[in-house]
Amino acid sequence: MVCDYQHLWPCLTHYFKVPVIGVFTKYDQFLRNVEIDLQDFPNESLDGDILEVAEKLFQEYYVRPLGDGVKFVRLASEFTIELHGYMLIIS
């Protein structure tokens, strides 16, 4: 038997506080994209270290719209890809 609890949603959300945790994947790719963008399109308003600029952009575009006090996790790949001649090695 399948029950539809949508009519209870306002009641449940009123009584139970549910924590929200944002999970951002591929943060290492985001850092690479920021580095490439800064090389291709130098911007005087984004001067500084790549990590500082990436943190500023990340906070502005991804964290701030979620609201104050939201917890988040940034995930990066633990694998690196190297190209040796014609052999692709994943380490």
Q: Give domain limits for the chain.
A: 19-90
pLDDT by position in tens, the chain (length 91): 455 656 665 665 566 677 778 888 888 889 899 988 888 887 777 777 888 888 999 999 988 888 888 888 888 876 655 555 555 455 5
Q: How many CA atoms lie within 13 A of 78 on its CB side?
A: 0
Residue listed under structure tokens 């995930």? 75
Burial class (CB in 10 A: 0-12, 13-18, 19+), 43: exposed
pLDDT for the residue numbered 1: 44
- Strand pairing of 81-84 and 87-90? antiparallel
pLDDT for the residue numbered 42: 79
pLDDT for the residue numbered 82: 55
**Does pTM surpass 0.75?**
no
